[in-house]
Amino acid sequence: MRSADERSPEGIEIKALRKSDAGIARQIALLGGSVWGGKENEPELAKSTAALEKETANLDADTKVLLVASRSGELIGFCRFVRDQKALSRWWLAGIEVRPTDRRRGIGRSLVAAGIEYARGRGCVLLQSEAHVDNGTSISFHEAVGFSNDGPFTALDGDEKMAFSLPLEEPPFEVVPLRAGHLPDAAALFTAGYRAARRREPLLPARHEDAQTILPKLQQLAETQPGVAAFRSGRLVGFLLGQVLPDFRGHRSIYVPEWAHAAAGADREETCRAMYAALSPDWLADGCFSHLTTTFACDREATEAWFRLGFGMIAVDAIRDLGPVAGVAADVDIRRAGMEDADDVLRFARGIQRHMAETPMFVAGIELVEMETIRRRLADPAQAIFLACRNKEPAAFIHIGPANPSAAYVVQDEKTASIRGLFTKPSHRGKGIGTALLTRAIDRARSAGYGRCAVDFEPQNIPGSRFWLTHFRPVCYSMIRHVDEQIGARRRA
């Protein structure tokens, strides 16, 4: 079986279209007409041109590429490669056209080879395609350029088609110490992953799509902490950095924020694991035996990589819009707390802390909040605390304010309001009071000009996580691993 990895025929130029190339849409539509039967003489030409102009103008380089082949400026071939929306490491050859008079000259093969190189560079591990069972020319072409014929199937529209697949192999990667010169590419690698996450959750702040918002943070962290980078064929495909937490729940720890690591490529899960294996000995040498990290909730491969390294989930960051809150809200009196309510607010805040020490959370060692802190929150006009009362007695409270600085960095934004706390007395739970308070908090965020609401919570908190996942969508998972400190003694022996 021949490979698609061959050079373009002499005089043929293969080009990936950009958004600014929308003007070429009519030529592509005319090419389609010549391939599929005289479309240039039909009214559909204008419709096809408009659709291609829109597709080109809205190109997302991480999810689609449109390739054209030309000779002396004349368009003679076109193909489309698209990333699968569910399996991000899978791409599709979603159409290829070559002018009939230029077939059997290697142009189609060159287009496919260019598409494979493009998709492989964005983590493609499997390329798939399909053709009508009666299109012998297309079936022969797929087989000639390296696809495996996986047999016939019936499509959702009832058409009988043939399925094709082409596994893509990549050269091995190398893990090296992270250097200052690697950081611009590291920032770009993170933003590529962030754009993928934002396509899944458009409410995430747009500003983090700019690598320049992340680069200064990486540079500052890299000045004091070691890191590693993974390279494949001279191209950065991964990086990993951690920041020291002097005292996280009683342990000197290392934390890898979501912006301080990324991996790309078909074997990105193994890249992540190899980078951790290379860097974690430095963390142990620094006395950091608790290791924490945050990943995007939609990035299953990254999450799986950390799980397979022995990490378990410790926190969830979630967001929602400011639309109506679903569910039945209790008919309770809700008012904004004032300084005269400080004692009640303190009891609720400490109630959260005591609740976190119970089963199955078992979070100990949290210093109880002091009255001074409560008074400062009540006096801050940017923060709001609401009390829900039954028979004039406070039954629950909710605290909302600007973006929580201890939450995942990617949710932090001037348009993000964060829920800082919610607690309902046990005797009043399950009656819709939390829903009523959340409704009031969302109303407050909307009137204050925010664009989204965020919350971070412990997944071990069974009633709490059930409530938050009813009303919010996860965007980040944080995980932890504690290495047996006896290892440190053995390493020093």
**What CATH number is given to the structural domain containing 439?**
3.40.630.30
Looking at the structure, tell me whether residues 292 and 210 fall in a common domain. Answer: yes
Shared-domain flag, residues 223 and 274: yes
What's the pTM?
0.74
Is 252 buried (19+), middle (13-18) or exposed (0-12) by CB count in 10 A?
middle
Q: Which residues contact 109 (CB under 8 A, 6 or more apart)?
A: 4, 6, 144, 145
Sequence-separated (6 or more) residues with CB below 8 Å from residue 2:
144, 145, 146
Do 410 and 459 lie in one domain? The reply is yes
Beta carbons within 10 angstroms of residue 431's beta carbon? 18
pLDDT value at residue 189: 95
- Structurally, how many domains does the chain consist of? 3
Q: In this structure, are 106 and 186 located in the same domain?
A: no
pLDDT at position 3 is 37
Within 8 A by CB and 6+ apart from 17, the residues are 24, 56, 59, 65, 66, 67, 68
Q: In the prediction, which pLDDT does 64 show?
A: 95
In this structure, what token pair is assigned to residue 332? 């309770």
Residue 148's alpha-carbon distances to 2, 87, 105, 127, 128, in angstroms, are: 11, 19, 22, 10, 9
| pLDDT of res. 430 | 92
DSSP H or E segment with residue 213: helix 211-222
Domain boundary, last residue among 115, 135, 167: 167
Residue 87's pLDDT is 82
Examine residue 259 and state whether it is found in any structural domain, yes or no.
yes
Sign for the CA dihedral angle at 182, 185, 188, 190 comes to negative
Q: Are 157 and 188 in contact (CB under 8 A)?
A: no
Say if residue 159 is in the same domain as residue 180. Answer: no
Q: What pLDDT, on the 0 to 100 scale, is given for residue 467?
A: 97
Residue 363: strand, helix, or coil: coil
Predicted confidence pLDDT, tens digits, the chain (493 residues): 233 434 566 788 999 999 898 888 888 888 876 555 544 556 778 888 888 899 999 999 889 999 999 998 899 999 999 999 888 889 999 999 999 888 888 899 999 999 999 998 888 889 999 999 999 889 989 998 989 999 899 988 889 999 999 998 777 899 999 999 999 999 999 999 999 899 889 999 999 999 999 999 999 999 999 999 999 888 899 999 999 999 998 899 999 999 999 998 767 899 999 999 999 999 999 999 999 999 999 998 899 999 999 999 999 999 999 999 999 888 899 999 999 999 999 999 999 999 999 999 998 767 789 999 999 999 999 999 999 999 999 999 999 999 999 999 999 999 999 999 999 999 999 999 999 999 999 999 999 999 999 999 999 999 999 999 999 999 999 999 999 988 866 655 5
CA distance 280 to 159: 53
d(CA 279, CA 13): 44
Whether 388 contacts 396, CB under 8 Å = yes
Q: Which residues pair with 38 in a beta bridge?
A: none
Q: Are strands 312-320 and 251-256 parallel, antiparallel or unpaired?
A: unpaired
**53 within a domain of the structure (yes/no):** no
Q: What is the DSSP string of 442-488?
A: HHHHHHTT-SEEEEEE-TT-HHHHHHHHHH-EEEEEEEEEE--THHH
Residue 405, preceding bond cis, omega within 30 degrees? no
Euclidean distance between CA atoms 161 and 434, whole angstroms: 52
Question: Tokens 């009633």 identify what position?
Answer: 463
| Residue 281 shares a structural domain with residue 348 | no
For residue 1, the model assigns a pLDDT of 28
Residues 189, 122 share a domain: no
Q: Is 144 a member of any domain?
A: yes
Indicate the burial class of 34 (C-beta count within 10 angstroms; 0-12, 13-18, 19 or more).
middle
Coil, strand or helix: which one is 336? strand
Distance between CA atoms of residues 26 and 5, nearest Å: 29
In a domain, 49, yes or no: no
Instruction: Indicate if the alpha-carbon torsion angle 228, 232, 233, 235 is positive or negative.
Output: negative
**Closest among 69, 72, 129, 73 to 99, alpha carbons compared:** 69
| C-alpha dist (Å) from residue 376 to 12, 119, 138, 344, 345 | 70, 53, 71, 15, 12
| Same structural domain, 276 and 339 | no
- Based on the fold, state whether residues 347 and 370 are members of the same structural domain: yes
Question: Would you tell me how many other CB atoms lie within 10 Å of the CB of residue 65?
Answer: 21
Question: 370 in a domain, yes or no?
Answer: yes
Domain co-membership, 198 together with 119: no
In a domain, 452, yes or no: yes
Alpha-carbon separation of residue 132 from 137, 140, 148, 321, 376 (angstroms): 10, 12, 15, 43, 69
Strand pairing class (393-402; 243-248):
unpaired
Tell me what pLDDT residue 267 has. Answer: 79
Q: Which position has the token pair 């039909």? A: 42
CA dihedral 172, 225, 314, 328 (to 10 degrees): -100
Residues 112 and 195 in one domain: no
> Looking at 143, 167, 191, which one is the last position of a domain?
167
Its domain, for residue 193, covers: 174-310
Which pLDDT score, from 0 to 100, does residue 5 have? 39
Residues ≥6 apart with Cβ < 8 Å to 216: none
Of the residues 259, 275, 310, the one at which a domain ends: 310
Q: Give whole-number Cα distances, 264 to 62, 92, 193, 376, in Å.
A: 12, 18, 8, 45
Residue 451, domain member (yes or no) = yes
Note whether residue 324 is domain-resident: no
Whether residues 476 and 337 share a domain: the answer is: yes
